[in-house]
Amino acid sequence: MEDINQGNNDSNPNGKIVFGQQVFFSADDGIHGNELWVTDGSTAGTQLFMEFVAGIDDGINYRLNAKVALGQLFFIAKDDVNNHALYVSDGTVAGTLRIAGFNGVEPKFMDEISGQLILSTQTGLVKTDGTSSGTSQFSNKTLFGDRFIAHNNEIYFSSNVPANLGNELYKTDGTSAGTILVKNINTASRGNSYPNHFKIVNGQVFFTATSNTSGTELWTTDGTDAGTNMVKDITAGSGNSFSSSSSVFLEHNNELFFMVSNNLWKSDGTEAGTIEVFNNLGNIRKGVELNGTMLLFPANDSSSDNELIYTSDGTFAGTTSFATGYKEFSHNGAIAIVGGELYFQGSTTREGYELWKTNGTQSGTVLVRDINSQEDDNNIEDIVDLNGSALFTCSDGNWLGSELYISDGTEAGTYLLKDINEEGNRSSFPQTYFEFGNIVLFTADDGEHGRELWKIDNGQASLLKDINPGNLNSDPDHFIEYNGSVYFVATTAQEGRELWFTDGTTLGTQLLSDHNAGNEDGFMDAPVVSMNNMLYFIGSDGSAGMELWQSDGTSSGNQQIIDLNGSVDDSIKSQEIVVFDDHVYFVADDGTTGHELWKSDGTAGGTSLVQDANPNGDGNVRYLNVHPQLPRLYYSATDGSDIRLWRTDGTNTFPDLASDPRNFMVSGTDLSRDGSRTTIYDSDLYFMGKSTSNFNNGFELWTIDLDGSVREVFNVNPQNAAGSNPSKLTDVDGILYFSAYEPTAGQEIWTVTGRSSAALVKDINPGSGGTNLVDIGSLGGFAFFGAENGDSNKELWISDGTDAGTVQFQDINPSTSQFQTSSRPMNFHTIQDTMYFTANNGTMGHELYKLELSTLSSGGELETLNNDIVLYPNPAADTVTYEIPFSSNLKVEVFDLLGQMVDQFEINESVNKGTLNIYDLKSGIYLLRFEINNQVITKKLMKN
């Protein structure tokens, strides 16, 4: 089984923190809940580090709360569903220890001072030296928000304890006595000064605070009441110079730079030295010091992709700007310096929010990669520097949710590192299998590249080529092997739908030619056929409509055979095209006859109308089928009054109604994607037909015998003029299986039991509800199909054509969820000894599965001993008895047909007969592996 499209549920990698050569973060893989993960920047090195709460409950809150201090990694995790605990780690699982537990609100890390780490908890300040015994609470003060800074072995912070003072400036040295109020700045009753935006510049502690007389302004402190003062009342009076939520504070050349009312200011900590540098920069929302220069980002949303970045050296003359190529710097997005460049989230009209980078110059400000090609917002989050690469979180906007990406700053080097949460039920729906040498070609949609060309080689599925780059579909189809390559039709945005070929390698998968230059389709979405070492197809080069063409398989070897209607209008609108009697047969309109059956020998002179079935209009020719034994082509057409079954022997003068005196409607086609209604079986052509002379019989199963007679095989549903609507006609080693409706059983699986008889195999879903088969496959003489037995779960079943031999093979999706209860197996295709199909296990959507013939057999058995092992009853219900030819200890292992061991028995006494309890096994076929005297013997068991 291959999970090609690994789902779109978010894993939300969050709280990334670099420790050593690794990054730790929280993520949810859909199995363990939100837990602690680690990555070294490789896919293999991205893994779950530790699970703290078993099962799907979260062990870590949404964002990892962690701090690197004292040479170790400290983080908060839950020690059960409700309580938090402090952990310390040296970066290994063995070196990760729980230090202390906390009730209530999750603790917040502050900083390291004097060899200890300070935390704020719901009840007060806690310090730790990294050991359990060295962890204790020393104050009842608590941190307000995240407003703090460490300086000279003290932490300055904002606190509202005690409440009667309001929110004011405190400091701590990690002791009870050293945790004190620095200054009550807002002296109004219960007034709040809300100290915020702490910044250390040239040894001074700057911050903003609100006084009861001057509004929110710039302050400094030396840790004393007297030494805590407002620097300058920039906005005179009670007006505010700073908002409480955000501001830009940068250190440059030992001075503090900041924004006030769209103007750039600087301060050396004195009133005289606090001056305006540059005015009217706009609403600057982010700033950073990069390579000795300040970069300032406006928050404007421009109407064009020409937003500015301001650069400044701290002087008026040295403050300039340059255009960037994006329209908005997302101030809410992540921003980080990685390898000397600034990575950030920018937006353009075309790409939406994506990952950008800048080195501080116009030419060095570039889009790194358009990850979300849907022009939607990407929400780049949580960028960190991992060994010179940018590690970040984003969604591709298509199938993948928020997952972990990495970038070296180039488009090619920016990629999904790991889809951590593979739980999503997006499906890749593999289909259109084609055997070519030792590989199998097929199409699938992995959620990133659209529906593209894949291959199975040595049991592994991989993308062969992204023909239509990005997440656009190329929809490869109509494969045909020709001159050592496989030719097929595919679509690109540049060339439209055209003919491609492949030798099974990526480099060898190429466009044959842009038949209709530009992005107009050169090929109809119809089969390509081969005759007399030439390919034939329905196409257009733009000078005429869709016509019949031939190709020698080279880029210059396409040639139009004839333009039947002599105009730019399509002569051919039908996908029907087959080879019969050294001619290509197709349906076309020459502008006179309407759409009728034509044939061609590959030349204009040898192209002619076979028969004008309806002289007064379209013949509505459909369902071209070549009989496997008779030199006849059968098809459905109308003469203007009745839809009938027609035939031709290949001559222009011998199209005729079928020899049976009754008229017939024939339905279904080899091109049908919803299950074939036409098949070859026992050298006859079987199809779903309806007698128009007997309206009591609806659509039933009909056949054309070797003598050319047309007859009804069996009237499955004689009670309804709608008929049984037989479909999914599948020959399984000489037994024709099909799906049909009968009033008392509903739609169930049937077989043809004789040339004029059919029988219900099993009423799988007892009563008239029916099992509603989706598809039928074949392997090892067994029929496989998806069926439900009344529990609404459509799972994989197996049948040998008998009631007793029709049982559930595997419960691929055992989920009890009301939204995911069915694996719905379909798209069966057997190549050599392997059957491929798609199914949904409830977590990954419809993905690719395979079942090998060797799994069904008991290969490698010791024949002489095996023949003497007896199992009875078989099929069995609750118990099965075994007999071996001599007394011995033995071990019995029970495997399902996907190779998974589901039970085992140890018989530690010398016996030659015993009973195995199989009551807990689900209905299906199992392999019992007997180990007797160092010999291994396998027997097949059917469980009812």
The predicted pLDDT at position 866 comes to: 40
What phi, psi does 82 have (nearest 5°)?
A: -110, -30
- With beta carbons less than 8 A apart as the criterion, state whether 211 and 186 touch: yes
Q: Smallest Cα–Cα separation from 711: which of 677, 660, 648?
A: 660
Decide: residue 469, CB within 10 A, 0-12 exposed, 13-18 middle, 19+ buried. middle
Reported in sequence order, the residue ranges of 91-153 that DSSP labels E, i.e. its strands, are 96-102, 108-113, 116-120, 125-128, 135-139, 148-151
- With beta carbons less than 8 A apart as the criterion, state whether 340 and 362 touch: no
The dihedral sign for the CA sequence 744, 748, 754, 755: positive
Vertex 133 angle, CA 128 and 136, to 5° = 45
- With beta carbons less than 8 A apart as the criterion, state whether 688 and 668 touch: yes
* Rounded Cα gap, residues 344 and 327, in angstroms: 13
Q: Mean pLDDT by 10-residue block, N- to C-terminus, for the chain (944 residues)? A: 52 90 89 87 85 82 92 90 86 90 89 96 94 94 92 95 86 96 89 93 95 93 97 91 82 95 94 95 89 87 78 95 85 85 86 88 90 66 89 72 85 78 61 88 83 85 88 90 95 92 95 91 92 94 93 93 91 92 94 93 94 89 83 84 80 46 42 44 72 65 79 81 80 86 88 83 86 84 86 80 85 57 81 85 74 61 46 83 77 76 82 85 80 71 79
Give every CB contact of residue 482 below 8 A, 6+ residues apart in sequence.
530, 535, 553
The predicted pLDDT at position 936 comes to: 66
pTM value > 0.85: no
The predicted pLDDT at position 860 comes to: 32
Query: b vs e for 547-582, b when ≥16 Cβ sit within 10 Å of the residue's Cβ?
Result: bbbbbebeeeebeebbbbbeeeebbbebbbbbbbee
Give every CB contact of residue 820 below 8 A, 6+ residues apart in sequence.
425, 813, 840, 842, 843
Q: Helices then strands (H, E): number in the chain? A: 2, 78
Domains of the chain (ranges plus CATH)?
1-109+747-858 (no CATH), 136-325 (2.130.10.10), 868-943 (2.60.40.1930)
Helix (H, G, I), strand (E, B) or coil at 163: helix
* Rounded Cα gap, residues 112 and 421, in angstroms: 35
The predicted pLDDT at position 426 comes to: 57
* Rounded Cα gap, residues 75 and 86, in angstroms: 6
* Rounded Cα gap, residues 936 and 929, in angstroms: 7
- With beta carbons less than 8 A apart as the criterion, state whether 492 and 468 touch: yes
Helix (H, G, I), strand (E, B) or coil at 165: helix
Give every CB contact of residue 710 below 8 A, 6+ residues apart in sequence.
645, 658, 659, 660, 662, 664, 689, 702, 703, 704
Decide: residue 294, CB within 10 A, 0-12 exposed, 13-18 middle, 19+ buried. buried
* Rounded Cα gap, residues 369 and 378, in angstroms: 11
The predicted pLDDT at position 358 comes to: 93
Residue matched to tokens 């300086």: 151
For the chain, what's the residue count?
944
3-state secondary structure 847-859: EEEEEEHHHHCCC
Residue matched to tokens 């017939």: 664
The predicted pLDDT at position 259 comes to: 93
- With beta carbons less than 8 A apart as the criterion, state whether 309 and 363 touch: no
Helix (H) or strand (E) holding 458: none
Q: Is 908 left (phi over 0), alpha (psi -120 to 50) or beta?
A: alpha
Helix (H, G, I), strand (E, B) or coil at 447: coil
- With beta carbons less than 8 A apart as the criterion, state whether 79 and 52 touch: yes
* Rounded Cα gap, residues 543 and 561, in angstroms: 14
Vertex 464 angle, CA 459 and 466, to 5° = 145
* Rounded Cα gap, residues 370 and 407, in angstroms: 12
